[in-house]
């Protein structure tokens, strides 16, 4: 049985779901644990009968204090208003929960919970939250239905007792039979209707107009990436985490063939070539890496347009389709040098001519999709000459780049033949011409240094050694002392080793992605894939070296990984089709539907034309055939109808004989046989249980003789017999719905009798 | 059909019953708040361009639209039948029932309210009832408890069936018509037994009346002691003489035959006069009830369009007849107390006690006319207040039928009344 008392648990569930949703959105598990504990404690007190509502003045005081506290936080720099408002709503809900007295408080709780979910919906694009939101909406609609019934029932009792009448409990008792089934039907109707409307509005509501009408309430993360950063200082221990959240999904083709995870992708986001060392250099503090100033090309691309990014002569051999989640940074990730780029919406970009990296003008706070063709051969781009090129920034940067501040001990290590290598002619390092630009020997030196680091050093995320460095250069400490570290140590060390020997080297940072999803046919780029490697300029162009040792991920896909890929695929579809649904998607959808309808109409018209033509040619044959078929069908129908009529008549006659109506005139017999079908069914049912009416007994006497049957069965038969008399002798005519009801009673009776032991066998 | 005005409150008269009638379609305050929230949601969606908010916004629109649909569905194909008691009493709670039949094949009806629109003046408050649920093709019966306010025959005609299901945003109501009648008896009081002491016993009226055993009055005889008899009544001397316990039997007085002479004459139409007459009628009804419970013979003489004479009889049927007459007593401004006394000569026999219930103080001078067989009870006397204890909540200035209420009568004649 189901009653309005279900409202309370449903209300608590709705409140907790709202808090779960917000905690998920704000990534605040602590707040969720605290709030849920308080809600559960409140529920326990209510169920145990120990709940005493907070005094109103205390609740108001807490609310005012919370308002002041969160009001200050909203204005604080760096704060996200919608999250602060969400936290305030959580506090308000807890206060309301503990001062709950009447239906009004319940209504306020429901509204606050809905507002909390709205705040959460603004701040997240997670699939999990989407699922939670759907569950929440279904449950909250159900809670609203129950709440309405409860409040109306309470209001009715209040209205009925308005005249100082002491209401008898019987007057307030409600019929709750089949209430559960009724509520399920209505909830389904509400959900179906409301869901259809929600889908319609979601798909067709115009997007874009009115955005930021009331200011930016959206979630603005300053930097959402944890592994990737444009600041490399070796000291940010907290940033080096195994965060597995997804950064991007990448579909890749090489030489026109899709890549199915055979090779890892090195997605470049940024390069750093200036190391500050102990004293720092221009633009770089101590122990920091920065990007040296260089020429930037500004590019504005319209919706769906393709822009040429780089003008290098190497052909594009790789194509990527990237869906980049909001990163909070400006970097766009490509493999090698980008040649052309097609973004999903209007975008303004900057392209570094020297390091061939792409970046957006504004940090990315929403999902961005772009197709890019790249060349894995990076030759850099010549300084612009002849045609003027737009430069990003008012002042053209200096053509002579500053150099890294490299510790002499690093240079000494680099000159060591065990590090930079040697051949039959002797060590390689001394043979290199200083300041001579890229030389043939550079590739060998870089390869030797890469091999040296890969073999002599250990990869670790344990940075306890780095904390003990004090004022020592971290790279010197890495190369001479602890000899273990993460990829930034390896890449940084190789870069400075190369630069100390005069090589043109830089550290590239981005993602090394080797996780491929067979489900969605794409690479999954996670935060934990963030990586740093080295690029060295050689006569053949910039070559990539990855000195980091022992970081290869296992290639075998376990069941857990496959499951994870499935979830990731769902998340990707959710993000692509729901969260990132925008005006273009809407327009595409409408256009597709329009085209489909037009095509269908055209196809239908053509089909009709062909049909008409065919008919005009074959009309005589066709009409004669159709006529024959129609005649045959009519004859068949006629024969069938006559057969059916005769069969029904026979059935009625037999039924009339069984009931004892055979002495009546034909018209009465037929009418009563139709009406008294239920009694015939009853007799046949009893007959199946070996109970037969003797011919000398009237129906009433026969029903009286069945007192050995269970009481309920006996009374049902008795009522049916009385109905028989009312029809047979009382002139009653049963309507079709009454006859159906009789059928239901007989079915129930059959169930009862089949469930009980055979009454005759008991004798 | 839209009805723009809010819920109408009709206060018929100063003494009338507040009748609430809902418009056929209306937005509730909850609905307005919801619509505001929906607009807020739409603005938030447009401002943030968050797709989930567009979905929630559409959902809210859908919920509002489905509210229109379901509220109509709830009242579609339903039948309501009143089940009211045949009689009731002023000031005593009574229960009316509404049988709600949902003839729909699939959809249930939930949260339906009923309110009487006409005939409510008979009650302290407008009869309202609430039905939580009626499954498809079932009949649900719900109760409405009310307190009748006026005696007489009352006609219930139009009533309203309303719902705000499913979310309380939209209120929809329909008015139905079904005629039912009920009789409300005058208020009944707790009657002090001292009233009967004024009435003489019937056996004193003549020598042929044979005393009956079973009372506590005088010695009647002895009989064999039976288990359970009080030891106090054992006749010890006879017991000792006979050798077995015998017990005394006493006679009981023959109950008095009562004829209630109800004076309903109104010298003026002031509320005080009306209240006094109504109180006298209620005292008569109380005596009828009291006499019936005590198994007494009771008759009636009063002006009911003509001088109605009902001979003393006992039994439930007689009680019902007497109360029906008292319920329907009309406005009497012509036939005064003297005329009543003149009429009473024919009904007060030697074995009958006539009890005059009158709104005036007639203690003085009554003795000459009573000849020892008439008892006068004034409804305005202190003594009657002690002997007849009515519910203090009953306002006798408005317990007459609505067509006799001076306030209502003047309003009915008001040509400006809409």
**Average pLDDT along chain A:** 81
Provide the chain B residues 356-415 that lie in CB contact (below 8 A) with chain A: 393
Parallel/antiparallel/unpaired status of strands B170-185 and B152-163? antiparallel
Model confidence pLDDT, tens digit, residues A600-657: 999 999 999 988 888 777 777 777 888 889 999 999 999 999 999 999 989 888 888 8
Taking residues A99-118, report their average pLDDT. Answer: 86
pLDDT digits (tens, 9 = 90+) for A425-440: 888 888 887 766 788 8
pLDDT band at A235 (very low <50, low <70, confident <90, very high): low
The tens digit of pLDDT for each residue in B214-252 reads: 667 778 888 899 888 888 889 999 999 888 999 998 876
Do β-strands A522-526 and A530-538 pair in parallel, antiparallel, or remain unpaired?
unpaired
Report pLDDT digits (tens) over B329-349.
Answer: 988 888 888 888 888 877 766
**What is the DSSP track for B315-340?**
SHHHHHHHHHHHHT---BSSS-HHHH
* Chain B hits for A207, Cβ within 8 Å: 49
**Residues whose CB falls within 8 Å of the CB of residue A597, separated by 6 or more in sequence, listed in order:** none
Write the secondary structure of A441-469 as one string of H (helix), E (strand) and C (coil): HHHHHHHHHHHHHHHHCEECCCCHHHHCC
Instruction: Answer yes or no: do A156 and B393 touch at CB < 8 A.
Output: no
Helix (H, G, I), strand (E, B) or coil at B145: strand
According to the model, what pLDDT value does residue A552 have? 56
In percent, how much of chain B has pLDDT > 70? Answer: 84
Chain A residue numbers touching B113 (CB-CB < 8 A): 152, 156
Q: Which residue of A has its CA nearest to B114?
A: A156
In the predicted model, is pLDDT for residue B374 greater than 80? Answer: no
Closest-CA residue of A relative to B139 is A175
pLDDT at A145: 85
Name the pLDDT band for B44 (thresholds 50, 70, 90).
Answer: confident
Which is more confident, B8 or A437? Answer: A437
**Which pLDDT band, with edges at 50, 70 and 90, does A1 fall under?**
very low
The label of the residue with tokens 């240079």 reads A411
Q: What is the mean pLDDT of residues B116-145?
A: 85
Whether the predicted pLDDT of B280 surpasses 80: yes
Average pLDDT of the residues in B20-47: 83
Give the Cα separation of A265 and A553 in Å (integer).
Answer: 13
User: A377 to chain B, minimum CA–CA distance in Å?
Assistant: 40
Angle subtended by helix axes A711-728 and A666-675, to nearest 10: 150
Phi-psi region of A178 (alpha: psi -120 to 50; beta: other; left: phi over 0): left
Does residue A408 surpass a pLDDT of 50? yes
Reported confidence tier of residue A591, pLDDT bands at 50, 70, 90? confident
Most confident of the ranges A12-16, A98-102, A148-152, A208-212: A12-16
Contacts of B95 in chain A (CB under 8 A): 168, 171
Reduced to 3 DSSP states, what percent helix, strand and coil does chain A have, rounded to the nearest 5? 50, 15, 35
**What global pTM score does this model have?**
0.60
Measured between CB atoms, which of A148, A207, A213 is closest to B111? A148
Least-confidence region, from A69-73, A187-191, A510-514, A574-578: A574-578
Q: What's the pLDDT at A642?
A: 94
pLDDT bracket for residue A176 (50, 70, 90): low
Task: List the single range of A229-243, A479-493, B187-201, B239-253 with lowest mean pLDDT.
Answer: A229-243
Whether A137 sits inside 8 A of B56 (CB atoms) is yes
Indicate which of A112, A140, A156 best probes the interface with B, i.e. most B CBs within 10 Å of its own CB: A156
Among B49, B63, B106, beta carbon nearest to A190: B63
pLDDT at A516: 84
Q: Give me the residue from B48, B63, B146 closest to A194, CB to CB.
A: B63
Local confidence band at B174 (pLDDT 50, 70, 90 cut-offs)? very high
| Per-residue pLDDT at A537 | 86
Selected residues 10-39 of chain B with any CB under 8 Å from a CB in chain A: 30, 37
Quick one: chain B helix, strand, coil %, rounded to 5? 30, 35, 35
Work out the minimum CA distance from B82 to partner chain A, whole angstroms: 15
Other CB atoms within 10 A of residue A258 CB: 11
Specify the DSSP element, H or E, that contains A258: strand A257-258
> How far is B42 from A442, CA to CA, in rounded Å?
62
Q: Which residues of B touch A212 (CB under 8 A)?
A: 47
The band of B417, judged by pLDDT with boundaries at 50, 70 and 90, is very low
pLDDT digits (tens, 9 = 90+) for A686-706: 988 888 888 888 888 899 888
The pLDDT of residue A238: 42
Cβ partners under 8 Å of residue B192, min gap 6 = B386, B387, B388, B389
Q: Which of A179, A190, A579 sits opposite B66 (nearest CB)?
A: A190
Cα–Cα dist B389/A593, whole Å: 83
Task: Determine which of A208-212, A264-268, A661-665, B302-306 has the lowest per-residue pLDDT on average.
Answer: A208-212
Q: Say what the pLDDT of residue A529 is.
A: 84
pLDDT at A230 (0 to 100): 58
pLDDT single digits (tens) A661-683: 888 888 888 888 888 999 999 99
Among A191-205, A254-268, A269-283, B3-17, name the most confident range: A191-205
> Cβ neighbours of residue A650 under 8 Å, at least 6 residues apart?
none
pLDDT at B187: 92
Q: What is the reported pLDDT for A143?
A: 87
| Residue appearing with tokens 């109950």 | B255
Task: Evaluate if residue B366 carries a pLDDT over 50.
Answer: no
Residue A646: per-residue pLDDT: 93
**B20 to chain A: closest CA residue:** A159
Residue B286 has pLDDT above 90, yes or no: yes
Is the bond preceding B166 in cis, omega lying within 30 degrees of 0?
yes
**Is pLDDT of B6 > 60?**
no
For the cut 60, the answer to whether the pLDDT of residue B289 exceeds it is yes
Model confidence band, residue A232 (pLDDT cutoffs 50, 70, 90): low
For residue A225, the model assigns a pLDDT of: 53
What pLDDT does residue B348 have? 67
Q: What is the pLDDT of residue A227?
A: 56
Q: Tokens standing for B297?
A: 């013979």
| Amino acid B281: pLDDT | 93
Task: Give residue A437's pLDDT.
Answer: 77
Query: Nearest residue on chain B to A168, judged by CA atoms?
Result: B145
Q: Measured between beta carbons, which residues in chain A are less than 8 angstroms from residue B53?
A: 118, 121-122
Residue A398 pLDDT > 50, yes or no?
no
Assess whether pLDDT exceeds 60 at residue A233: no
A6-9 contact pairs (CB < 8 A, 24+): A6/A146, A7/A106, A7/A143, A7/A146, A7/A147, A7/A149, A7/A150, A8/A46
Question: With an 8 Å Cβ cutoff, are B106 and A185 in contact?
Answer: yes
**Residue A485, C-beta contacts closer than 8 angstroms, at least 6 positions apart:** A234, A457, A459, A460, A463, A465, A466, A478
- As to burial, measured by CB atoms within 10 angstroms (0-12 exposed, 13-18 middle, 19+ buried), residue A117 is buried
Mean pLDDT of B289-312: 87
Angle between helices A179-204 and A583-659 (to 10 degrees): 150
CA-based nearest residue to B403, from B209, B43, B184, B153 = B153
Burial string for A150-180 (b: 16+ CB within 10 Å, else e) reads: bbbbeebeebbeebebeeeeebbebbeebbe
DSSP output for A657-683: HHHT-TTS-HHHHHHHHHHTHHHHHHH
Q: Which residues of A touch B93 (CB under 8 A)?
A: 165-166
- Categorize the per-residue pLDDT at A761 as very low, low, confident or very high, splitting at 50, 70 and 90: very low
Helices A677-688/A583-659 angle, 10° precision: 80
Residues of B in contact with A742 (CB under 8 A): none
- Find residues 106-135 of chain B whose CB sits inside 8 Å of chain A: 106-108, 110-111, 113, 123-125, 128-135
């Amino acid at each position: 049985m189901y009653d309005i008392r279900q409202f309370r648990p449903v209300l608590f569930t709705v409140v907790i779901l709202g808090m779960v949703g917000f905690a998920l959105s704000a990534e605040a598990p602590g707040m969720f644990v605290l709030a849920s504990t308080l809600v559960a404690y409140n529920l326990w007190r209510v169920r145990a009968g120990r709940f005493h509502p907070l005094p109103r003045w205390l609740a108001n005081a807490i609310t005012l204090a919370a308002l002041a506290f969160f009001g200050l936080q909203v204005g604080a720099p760096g704060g996200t208003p919608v999250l602060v408002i969400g936290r305030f709503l959580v506090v308000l809900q807890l206060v309301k929960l503990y001062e709950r007295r009447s239906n009004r408080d319940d209504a306020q709780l429901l509204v606050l919970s809905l507002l909390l979910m709205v705040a959460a919906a603004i701040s997240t694009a997670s699939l999990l939250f989407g699922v939670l939101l759907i569950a929440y909406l279904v449950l909250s609609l159900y809670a609203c239905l129950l709440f309405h019934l409860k409040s109306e029932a309470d209001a009715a009792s209040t209205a009925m007792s308005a005249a100082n009448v002491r209401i008898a409990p019987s007057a307030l008792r409600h019929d709750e039979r089949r209430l559960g089934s009724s509520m399920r039907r209505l909830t389904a109707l509400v959900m179906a209707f409301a869901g259809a409307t929600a889908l319609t509005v979601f798909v067709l509501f115009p997007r874009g107009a009115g955005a930021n009408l009331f200011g930016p309430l959206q979630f603005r993360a300053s930097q959402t990436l944890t592994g990737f950063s444009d600041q490399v200082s070796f000291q940010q221990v907290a940033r080096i985490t195994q965060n597995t959240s997804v950064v991007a999904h990448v579909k890749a083709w090489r030489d026109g063939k899709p890549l199915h995870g055979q090779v890892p992708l090195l997605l470049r986001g940024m390069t750093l070539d200036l190391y500050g060392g102990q004293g720092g250099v221009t633009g770089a503090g101590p122990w920091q890496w920065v990007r040296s100033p260089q020429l930037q090309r500004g590019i504005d691309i319209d919706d769906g347009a393709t822009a040429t990014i780089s003008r290098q002569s190497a052909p594009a051999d790789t194509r990527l389709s990237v869906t980049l989640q909001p990163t909070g940074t400006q970097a766009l990730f490509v493999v090698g040098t980008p040649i052309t780029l097609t973004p999903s919406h209007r975008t303004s970009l900057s392209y570094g001519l020297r390091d061939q990296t792409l970046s957006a003008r504004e940090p990315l706070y929403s999902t961005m999709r772009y197709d890019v063709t790249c060349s894995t051969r990076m030759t850099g781009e010549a300084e612009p000459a002849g045609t003027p090129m737009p430069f990003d920034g008012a002042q053209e940067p200096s053509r002579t780049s500053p150099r890294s501040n490299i510790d002499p001990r690093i240079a000494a290590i680099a000159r060591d033949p065990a590090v930079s290598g040697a051949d039959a002619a002797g060590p390689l390092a001394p043979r290199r011409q200083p300041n001579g630009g890229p030389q043939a020997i550079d590739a060998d030196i870089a390869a030797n240094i890469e091999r040296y680091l890969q073999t002599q050093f250990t990869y670790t995320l344990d940075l306890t050694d780095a904390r003990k460095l004090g004022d020592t250069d971290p790279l010197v400490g890495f190369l001479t002392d602890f000899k273990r570290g993460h990829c930034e140590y390896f890449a940084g060390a190789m870069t400075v080793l190369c630069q100390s020997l005069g090589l043109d080297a830089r550290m590239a940072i981005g993602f090394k992605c080797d996780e491929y999803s067979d489900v969605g046919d794409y690479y999954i780029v996670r935060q934990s894939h963030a990586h740093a490697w080295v690029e060295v300029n050689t006569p053949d162009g910039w070559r990539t070296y990855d000195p980091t040792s022992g970081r290869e991920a296992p290639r075998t896909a376990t069941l857990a990984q496959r499951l994870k890929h499935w979830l990731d695929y769902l998340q990707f579809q959710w993000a692509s089709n729901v969260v990132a649904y925008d005006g273009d998607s809407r327009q595409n959808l409408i256009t597709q539907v329009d085209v489909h309808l037009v095509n269908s109409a055209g196809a239908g018209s053509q089909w009709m034309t062909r049909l008409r033509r065919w008919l005009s040619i074959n009309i005589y044959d066709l009409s004669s055939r159709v006529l024959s078929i129609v005649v045959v069908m009519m004859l068949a129908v006629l024969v069938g109808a006559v057969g059916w009529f005769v069969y029904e008549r026979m059935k009625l006659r037999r039924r009339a004989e069984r009931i004892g109506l055979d002495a009546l005139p034909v018209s009465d017999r037929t009418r009563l046989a139709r009406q008294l079908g239920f009694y015939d069914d009853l007799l046949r049912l009893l007959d199946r249980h070996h109970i037969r009416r003797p011919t000398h007994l009237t129906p009433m006497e026969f029903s009286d003789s069945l007192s050995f049957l269970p009481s309920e069965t006996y009374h049902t038969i008795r009522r049916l017999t009385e109905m028989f008399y009312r029809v047979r002798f009382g002139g009653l005519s049963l309507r079709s719905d009454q006859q159906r009801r009789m059928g239901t009673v007989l079915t129930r009776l059959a169930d009862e009798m089949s469930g009980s032991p055979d009454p005759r066998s008991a004798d | 059909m839209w009805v723009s005005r809010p819920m109408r409150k009709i206060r018929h008269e100063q003494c009338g019953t507040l009748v609430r009638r809902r418009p056929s379609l209306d937005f509730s305050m909850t609905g307005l708040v919801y619509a505001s929230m929906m607009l807020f949601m739409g603005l938030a969606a447009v401002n943030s361009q968050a797709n989930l908010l567009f979905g929630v916004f559409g959902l809210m629109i859908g919920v509002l639209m489905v509210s229109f649909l379901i509220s109509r569905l709830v009242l579609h194909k339903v039948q309501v039948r009143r089940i009211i008691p045949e009689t009731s009493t002023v000031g005593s709670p009574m229960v009316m029932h509404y049988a709600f039949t949902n003839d729909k094949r699939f959809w249930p009806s939930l949260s339906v309210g009923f309110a009487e629109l006409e005939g409510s003046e008979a009650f302290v408050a407008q009869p309202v009832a609430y039905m939580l649920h009626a499954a498809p093709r079932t009949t649900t019966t719900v109760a409405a408890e009310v307190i009748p306010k006026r005696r007489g025959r009352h006609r219930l005609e139009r009533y309203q069936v309303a719902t705000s299901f499913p979310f309380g945003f939209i209120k929809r109501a329909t008015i139905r018509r079904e005629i039912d009648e009920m009789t409300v008896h005058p208020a009944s009081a707790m009657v002090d037994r001292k009233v009967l002491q004024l009435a003489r016993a019937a056996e004193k009226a003549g020598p042929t009346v044979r005393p009956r055993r079973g009372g506590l009055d005088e010695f009647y005889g002895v009989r064999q002691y039976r288990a359970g008899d009080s030891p106090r009544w054992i006749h010890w001397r006879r017991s000792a003489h006979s050798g077995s316990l015998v017990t005394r039997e006493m006679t009981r007085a023959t109950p008095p035959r009562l004829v209630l002479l109800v004076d309903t004459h109104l010298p003026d139409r002031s509320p005080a006069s009306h209240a006094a007459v109504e109180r006298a009628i209620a005292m008569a009804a109380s005596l009828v009830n009291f006499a019936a419970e005590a198994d007494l013979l009771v008759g009636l003489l009063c002006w009911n369009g003509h001088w109605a004479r009902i001979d003393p009889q006992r039994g439930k049927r007689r009680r019902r007849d007497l109360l029906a007459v008292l319920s329907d007593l009309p406005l009497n401004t012509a036939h005064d107390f003297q005329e009543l006394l003149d009429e009473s000569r024919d009904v007060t026999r030697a074995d009958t006690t006539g009890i005059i219930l009158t709104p005036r103080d007639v203690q003085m001078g009554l003795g000459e006319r009573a000849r020892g067989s008439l008892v006068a009870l004034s409804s305005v006397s202190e003594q009657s207040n002690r002997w007849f204890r009515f519910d203090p909540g009953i306002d006798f200035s408005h317990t007459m039928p609505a067509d006799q209420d001076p306030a209502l009568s003047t309003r009915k004649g008001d040509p400006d009344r809409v």
